[in-house]
Amino acid sequence: MAVYTVHGPASYYGSDVRTVPDQLVFVRDGFYFWAFVGTFLWLLWHRLWLALIGYIALIIVAEIAMSAAGVDSGTRFLVMAVIALLLGLEAGSLRRWKLSRRKWRQLDIVVADSEEAAERRFFERWNAKTPRDNSRSAAPPPLPRASITQPQGVIGLFPEPGASR
């Protein structure tokens, strides 16, 4: 089962997601085969312009450095394959980074077998959170926020803040 993050524009906060569900973006967490095989085209397709510029700059710098070092063609291919592998592994993170730069919010995290199943689970969960009132004036529940808790104690030789020595 794959993990999907659900993203929506910042204007979704406090509004009903069911009114325009086609604007939601579901990003799968995991390895993207097409980003590994066709890195340049995949970055263009998803309009990741800054990542594309960074990828091109990295490839040029790596080629210049390997050319200056006198590296053989087998090693060059291996280095480029490792760069493509890293991009295939981090493709989902690049898409999330783009969405966060565009001021989109992460609405939820869904575990499902496919993107369609993830959409279905997200909207089932979202509908369960909304009040069952027939009137249109009922506001939907606020979006869940990640809560960060302070650690209660540290195991080891670290002193507590403000404690005597």
The string of pLDDT tens digits covering residues 146-164 is 555 555 555 656 556 666 6
The answer as to whether 150 is a domain residue is: no
32 and 42 in contact (C-beta within 8 Å)? yes
SS3 assignment, position 79? helix
The answer as to whether 102 is a domain residue is: yes
How many angstroms separate the Cα of 152 from the Cα of each of 144, 149, 155?
24, 9, 10
Domain total in the chain = 1
Q: What residues contact residue 115 under an 8 Å CB cut-off, 6+ apart? A: 4, 26, 28
What pLDDT does residue 150 have? Answer: 53
What is the token pair recorded at 3?
């993990």
Please choose, from the candidates 9, 28, 22, 14, the residue with its C-alpha nearest in 3D space to the C-alpha of residue 106: 9
The answer as to whether 163 is a domain residue is: no
Give the H/E segment covering residue 58. helix 49-69
The answer as to whether 68 is a domain residue is: yes
Q: How confident is the model at residue 10 (pLDDT cuts 50, 70, 90)?
A: confident
What pLDDT does residue 78 have? Answer: 96
Alpha carbons within 13 A on the beta-carbon side of 62: 17
Q: How confident is the model at residue 64 (pLDDT cuts 50, 70, 90)?
A: very high
Percent of the chain with pLDDT over 70: 73
Q: How confident is the model at residue 129 (pLDDT cuts 50, 70, 90)?
A: confident
> What is the span of the domain harbouring residue 39?
2-129
d(CA 144, CA 27): 18
What pLDDT does residue 155 have? Answer: 60
